[in-house]
Amino acid sequence: MTIQYAKDQQGVYQTITVNISNGAHHIFKYLSTTEGIQQWFPQLSFQERAVGGKMYFHIAESENIEMRITHFEENKVIGFTWDIGKVRFELYEHPSYVALIFYEYLPFEFPHTALDFAGWQFQLESIKNITETGEALDQYNYDFDAKKTEIEASLAVI
């Protein structure tokens, strides 16, 4: 897994690349269907799988944050709003693996950038694991605080 950070006048960016030993069709189901995404990110669900379609982040029993799908091309790309930011997953097939590239943009006003970046890094590891082995990773075994501190240090120097 490779991770890159960048900043501009509007906010911060994270790009994560992970190579997965499986096909794009298989991986895309985990990124773009409620049944697939809830196996590694149980709070997310889809209402409509199309550009402009709705997704939901379930916070509590009766509270949902609505998100909009910004990019959708079957087995290739899905992107959606993420609070006041945006995320996008792109799949590139190679003969023996699929490169999954994750892009995230968060404006400076986003309150917990480093923690959000750490969360997505964990999620990308979990996507790789579930698509290759059928098992999601346990978030309780991941040191989010250490990762957050590492990310804050990296963002301070760019």
pLDDT tens digit string along 75-132? Answer: 999 999 999 999 999 999 999 999 999 999 999 999 999 999 999 999 999 999 999 9
Q: What are phi and psi of 69, to 5 degrees?
A: -75, 125
Residues 6+ apart with CB under 8 A from 8: none
In the chain, how many domains are there? 1
Expressed as residue numbers, the domain containing 131 is 2-156
Which of 97, 102, 55 is closest to 77 using CA atoms? 102
CB 31 within 8 A of CB 40: no
pLDDT digits (tens, 9 = 90+) for 15-48: 999 999 999 999 999 999 999 999 999 999 999 9
Rg (CA), the chain: 15
The pTM (predicted TM-score) of the whole model is 0.95
CATH code where residue 43 lies:
3.30.530.20
